[in-house]
Every structure is written in structure tokens, then in C-alpha cells.
Amino acid sequence: MLSVILGWVADLKYDTAQEDPRWHSLHEVEKAAERARVLTHKLLAFGRRQMLDLRATHLDLLVAGLEATMQKVAGEAVTLDVRLSEVDAVKVDSGQIEQVILNLVANARDAMPRGGRIEVAVFGAERKIDGFERATVCVSVRDEGSGVDEVTRARIFEPFFTTKERTRNTGLGLSTALGIVQQCGGFIEVQSQPGSGAVFTLVLPVTLDFERDALAELRMPARATRTMSPRTILIVEADAQMRRLLTMLLGRIGHRPWEESDAATSLQRIATDGAPDLAIIGLVGPPDMGSELAAKLRALLPELPLVLLSGLADASVVETATALRSPILRKPFTMKALVAAVDEALGEALGSTKTKGR
């Protein structure tokens, strides 16, 4: 629903001059939908249902690259001390983990309204995960604030629980952080006593897949570059509003959309009109839709590029995308995300296309 709202508001703004009073009304609707999108992602992260792009990552390098941003978040009244150790790789969504670390730095800053020192450290350690001792990588954020008592510490990861003013905070920051870290296979430790500051530590298991992932990327064949031209794109999606939205957006960037609601009519369209240049397949729908239809299309047309459309974070979605070597367009999506997914699937520089008003 948020994809549909954001998409059609963007379309209305496209045809409305900024001097028109209606443009500002549309802008307010768009801002509200964007806030709802962010809130939805936070709730999904808390529920461990957000779709993450897990890749082997060295957290010492990630934190080193984040130092300037952390200092800006901490502010001029705070001294930031970053301590790095060379560590093994962990499998995380680096963008999401960056947000978790920045959130912890912001919390540490808020705990010291008169300023102080924040220490961010990266180190290796042995920790129990699922009852077994594992090699892990830890990122700790330590502050010199007033600390929290045992009662607060027990509730600190509850959704909507906050010690800050309601006007400043939703109470989803730490619960979101925990959900993201748990989806990466780890957990968060908290150490704090009143008057003694607090230490939040991300604990993430070392991955054994780093060399394998690196080799897979090296072996991946380079995509052929092609000249820019309109493409015929088959859209197979059970939801009529989503189909119309995709048809409009793809038409805006010069493509020829074919709009179908089910597997049978999609296969009939291909039999009648020939193969499209790309297919966008919605993963939610009747049993013969989604991954089953995608597999049929790949068997019928082995060279057909596919984009999978989903708002789910199930492992099966990622497994399907990996097996088909297809990008996932994640709901709610923006025009930029749609272009990027089409670009990745087709292997041509659609991202550099300049379209009116975009």
C-alpha cells in the first residue's frame, strides 16, 4: 500500500509545478508516507522480518570509514575515541549495521547532555551463541552518562519503551537495533549501573564464507554493455494497484510494459507475442505465481532477466533470488530502487537516464 501511495504521489508531483499550491499538499502526503515507510522498516527489523543484504564484512574497516560521521553525530561537546583491532569477517547488512552503530552513538551522546567521552571499540572475542562457544566480532559503544538501573535495563529493548521525551523519540531505536543484529545471527550485550555510564556491545559470529563469497564475485561473468533503448517488460503481479503503478513508472522511463495478473495469461502472452526483454514477478499471489512462475519462465527462456518483487524477508525469498540470480525489488520501493533493479537485471546503465522531473 505504501508503494502505491508513494508511486502515485510521485506521478502527480511529476505533472505539477512547484508554484502550484497542490504541489505542497502532495509533498506533505509524500512526507507522511515516507515516515510510514521508515516506521514500517523499523517494525520489520524489530520483528526480525526486514529483508537484509547479508555480505561478508570486516567491521574494523566499516567502523574506520564511519568515524567522521560518528563524530558529527556525537557533536562538538563530545570526545570520540575509536579503538580498532584487526578482526575476522562477519556476515551482515553493512548499511543496517552502520545505522545501528550511529544510533548507539546518538544514544550515548544524549546520555551526556553536558558533554563527555564516547569510546567505540572493535575487537574479537569468544561468546556463546545458541549454546555453543563461537568466535565473534564485537563492536562496543561506551559512554560516561548517568547509566540506567536494573528495571530500565530489563525493558530497554522493548518496542516503544523510551527514557526520552515522546516528542523526540519513538522508542523503536534499540528494539530495531536488536532485530537487525539478531537477523545477522548475533545479539547485543548491555552493561550499566546508575552513575557509571553504559556499554552497549554488538556481538556477531565470525563467518566462514568470506573467501567463498569473494571467489564467487570474481567468477561472476561481467554483464554485457548495451546501448540504451526501450525494453519490453512483462509485469506479473496479482495486485491490480501494484500492476498499474509499475506500468506507469516503467512507462515514464521509456519502456513498454506488458501487464498480466496470473501465470496462465503471462505464459499465453509470451506464446502469442514472443519473449519480453525482462519480467518482473510478484512473489505474493496464487500457488502457481511467484517463485513457481519465475522458475517456469527461467526454464522456458533461460536468458530472460528476472526481477522478483517482494516485501517479505523470508529466507526462501533470498534463496529463490540467489538460485535464479535475480535482483529483489523490495516493497515499499521508490522510482530509484525500481530503476536500479531493472538496471541490474538488464545489465545496462538505466541509472544514468535523465527523465523529466526526476
- In contact, 56 and 210? CB cutoff 8 Å: yes
- Per-residue pLDDT averaged across 67-76, rounded? 91
How many C-beta neighbours within 10 Å does residue 88 have?
A: 17
For residues 311 and 77, the model is more confident at 77
For residues 330 and 208, the model is more confident at 330
| Options 3.40.720.10, 3.30.365.10, 3.90.1640.30, 3.40.50.2300; CATH of 226-352 | 3.40.50.2300
- Please work out, in degrees rounded to the nearest 5, the angle formed at the alpha carbon of residue 189 by the alpha carbons of 45 and 145: 100
The pLDDT value given to residue 220: 37
Cis check for the bond before 257: say yes or no (omega within 30 of 0).
Answer: no
The pLDDT value given to residue 163: 62
Q: Which residues contact 180 (CB under 8 A, 6 or more apart)?
A: 45, 50, 52, 93, 96, 97, 99, 100
CATH class, domain 55-215, is alpha beta
SS (H, E, C) 304-349: CCEEEEECCCCHHHHHHHHHHCCCEEECCCCHHHHHHHHHHHHCCC
Dist CA 79 CA 119 (whole Å): 8
Would you place residue 214 in the very low, low, confident or very high pLDDT band (cuts 50, 70, 90)? very low
Across 159-187, b (16+ Cβ under 10 Å) vs e yields beebeeeeeeeeebbbbbbbbbbebbbbb
The pLDDT value given to residue 334: 77
- In contact, 260 and 286? CB cutoff 8 Å: no
Angle, in degrees to the nearest 10, between helices 2-14 and 240-252: 40
What are 217-259's pLDDT values in tens digits?
433 333 333 334 789 999 999 888 888 889 988 988 889 999 9
By mean pLDDT, which of 217-226, 255-264, 346-355 is the weakest? 217-226
| Helix or strand (DSSP H, E) at 82 | strand 78-84
For residues 355 and 111, the model is more confident at 111
Is residue 352 over pLDDT 80? no
Across 284-315, b (16+ Cβ under 10 Å) vs e yields ebeeebbbbbbeebbeeeeebbbbbbbbbbee
What are 123-171's pLDDT values in tens digits?
999 988 878 888 999 999 999 988 887 877 777 777 666 666 544 554 4
Dist CA 306 CA 277 (whole Å): 9
- Per-residue pLDDT averaged across 187-191, rounded? 91
The pLDDT value given to residue 118: 95
The pLDDT value given to residue 219: 38
The pLDDT value given to residue 161: 63
For residues 121 and 313, the model is more confident at 121
Q: Locate cell 551526556: which residue?
A: 112
Is residue 92 over pLDDT 80? yes
- Per-residue pLDDT averaged across 176-186, rounded? 85
- Locate the domains of the chain by residue range: 2-46, 55-215, 226-352
The pLDDT value given to residue 288: 66
Using DSSP, state whether 249 is helix, strand or coil: helix
